[in-house]
Structure 1
Amino acid sequence: MNNRMKYNKVFTTLFNINDSQLNEDFTFNNVENWDSIVHLSLITELEYTFNIMFETEDILSFGSYENGMRILEKYEISFNDV
């Protein structure tokens, strides 16, 4: 399973959605059930999945599907393996 698939699986599992819904519009402001508890679950699951530890600044700015990939790239997680 490549990194994009792992990343998508975290989102689809937590938000109970299909991959097709993951795009630039999938943001904290646009997703009704993306609240603080789901946000922390998302961060925790991504840390576990990619064996990393987010900095506080990254946790606070992780507000969208697209931005999340940019943040993960700071931790040397590549999404070019699609």
Structure 2
Amino acid sequence: MKTVSEKVLAAFGTVLGVPDDVPTATLVYNDFPGWDSVAHMALVAALEEQFDCMLEMDDILNMSDFDKTVEIMARYG
């Protein structure tokens, strides 16, 4: 069974092409190459599919980096 962090990293990999060994501290919205507003919505869709949920708007807006995304997704399972 994958951890929340592993599931989130898999979604980042699918949407942004992030390799598994990337330092997750570099995954910051509008700072990491390719993670713009369009990619953010694709990431949200991938996370909703991965976690079988519908994210709240506040959660979508608060996904500012990898660690915050993991924290948010932990509430969804």
Q: TM-score, normalised by structure 1?
A: 0.80
Distance 2:23 2:67 in 1: 9
Residue ranges of structure 1 left out of the alignment (5+ in a row): 78-82
Q: Which AA in structure 2 matches 1:2?
A: K
- Higher-Rg structure is 1
Could you list the runs of 4 or more consecutive aligned residues of structure 1 that deviate by over 3 angstroms after TM superposition? none
Q: Please, what is the CA RMSD of the aligned residues?
A: 1.5
Aligned to 1:51: 52
Residue ranges of structure 2 left out of the alignment (5+ in a row): none
Identity between Structure 1 and Structure 2 (%): 28
Q: TM-score, normalised by structure 2?
A: 0.85
Offset at residue 57 of structure 1 (A): 0.4
Count how many residue pairs are aligned between Structure 1 and Structure 2.
76
